[in-house]
C-alpha cells in the first residue's frame, strides 16, 4: 500500500478531470458566506515538481494538462482550474503541478479549513512542509484517511467537501470505499463526497459506480473520461471517473459543455469518449 507515489502521474488526464471538477465544486461552495471544511482522505504530497525523476519517468502531464495550457479555445469553465496551475508557474514553462490539496488551498477562504490525510511517510512530510510554509488553515495527518475521517464528521460548520482518492493498488480499496461512505453518510448525510476511480478492465473497477449508486443517497452524479480504447492485454488505465454524492445542481450543465472539449483535446484515439449520468432532485 505504501509503494504508490502519485508523482508518477501528476498532471495526467485523470488529474485534469479530477481537479477541474474539484475547482468547480469549491467555487460553488464559495457562493455562500458560511465556512466549510475540505477533507482529503489520500492527499499525496500536495504539489509536484515535474522536473523530478518521478514525474519525468513517463511525463504523463504532457498528454494531460500540458495539452490544455496555451490553447486559445479553452471553455471558460476550465479557466479557473488552469489559473491555479499557471499561478504555480511564474513563466511559460510548466515546472510544478498542484495536487488536490493545493488546488483546494487556492480557493479556500480564511475561515475555511482543510484536513489532509496521507499515510505514505515521505509524501506526508512533503505535504506538511508545503502547508507549514503557507501558514494555511490545514491540518496534515500521517494516517489512513479511510479510518481517520470519522473523527471529523460531522464538521462543526455542517458544510464539507470530502475527496476520496485512493490508488486502488490494493483491491480491497474498492470495498473499503463503500464501507467508509456508508459510515460517513450515517454521520454526515448532507456532505458532498467525491470518489475518484480508475477505468480499468478489472471487475472491481467496472462495478464500483453501480455499487455507489446503491448507497442510501438521493442525489448523485457520475462522470467518466476515456482517453483511449482499453488495451488488448487488459492492463493499464484507459480513463477515470468521479462519482459525486450531493453534487451541485449546476454541475451537469457545466460538464455537458466541458467534457466534449476534453475528449477532443485529451483523446488519443477514436474510442475516446465521456459518459455522464446523474440523479439530482
Rounded Cα distance, 231 and 224, in Å: 17
Instruction: Assess whether the previous peptide bond of 77 is cis (omega < 30° from 0).
Output: no
SS3 (DSSP) at 113: strand
Q: Among this protein's residues, is 92 annotated catalytic? A: no
Which residue in 15, 123, 165, 226 is the catalytic one?
165
Which DSSP state fits 168?
A: -
Nearest to 273 by CA among 255, 256, 221, 264: 264
Helix axes 100-107, 13-29, angle to 10 degrees: 30
The strands making up 239-245's β-sheet, listed across from edge to edge, are: 138-141, 113-117, 37-40, 160-164, 192-199, 239-245, 220-226, 273-279
Question: What DSSP letter does each residue of 251-265 carry, written as one string?
Answer: HHHHHHHHHHHHHHH
Residues assigned a catalytic role: 165
Amino acid at each position: 500500500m505504501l509503494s504508490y507515489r502519485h508523482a508518477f502521474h501528476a498532471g495526467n488526464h485523470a488529474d485534469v478531470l479530477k481537479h477541474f471538477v474539484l475547482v468547480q465544486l469549491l467555487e460553488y461552495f464559495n457562493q455562500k458566506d458560511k465556512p466549510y471544511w475540505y477533507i482529503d482522505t489520500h492527499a499525496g504530497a500536495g504539489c509536484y515538481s515535474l522536473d523530478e525523476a518521478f514525474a519525468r519517468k513517463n511525463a504523463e502531464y504532457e498528454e494531460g494538462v500540458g495539452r490544455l495550457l496555451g490553447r486559445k479555445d479553452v471553455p471558460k469553465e476550465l479557466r479557473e482550474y488552469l489559473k491555479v496551475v499557471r499561478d504555480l508557474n511564474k513563466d511559460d514553462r510548466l515546472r510544478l503541478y498542484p495536487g488536490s490539496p493545493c488546488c483546494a488551498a487556492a480557493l479556500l477562504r480564511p475561515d475555511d479549513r482543510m484536513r489532509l490525510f496521507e499515510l505514505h511517510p515521505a509524501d506526508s512530510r512533503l505535504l506538511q512542509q508545503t502547508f507549514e510554509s503557507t501558514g494555511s488553515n490545514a491540518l496534515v495527518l500521517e494516517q489512513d484517511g479511510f479510518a481517520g475521517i470519522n473523527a471529523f464528521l460531522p464538521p462543526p460548520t455542517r458544510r464539507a467537501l470530502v475527496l476520496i482518492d485512493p490508488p486502488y493498488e490494493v483491491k480491497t480499496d474498492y470495498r473499503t470505499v463503500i464501507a467508509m461512505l456508508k459510515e460517513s453518510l450515517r454521520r454526515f448525510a448532507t456532505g458532498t463526497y467525491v470518489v475518484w476511480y480508475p477505468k480499468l478492465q478489472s471487475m472491481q473497477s467496472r462495478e464500483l459506480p453501480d455499487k455507489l449508486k446503491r448507497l442510501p443517497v438521493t442525489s448523485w452524479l457520475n462522470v467518466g473520461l476515456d482517453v483511449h480504447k482499453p488495451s488488448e492485454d487488459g492492463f493499464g488505465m484507459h480513463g477515470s471517473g468521479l462519482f459525486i454524492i450531493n453534487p451541485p445542481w449546476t454541475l451537469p450543465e457545466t460538464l455537458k459543455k466541458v467534457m466534449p472539449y476534453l475528449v477532443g483535446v485529451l483523446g488519443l484515439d477514436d474510442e475516446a469518449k465521456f459518459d455522464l449520468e446523474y440523479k439530482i432532485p
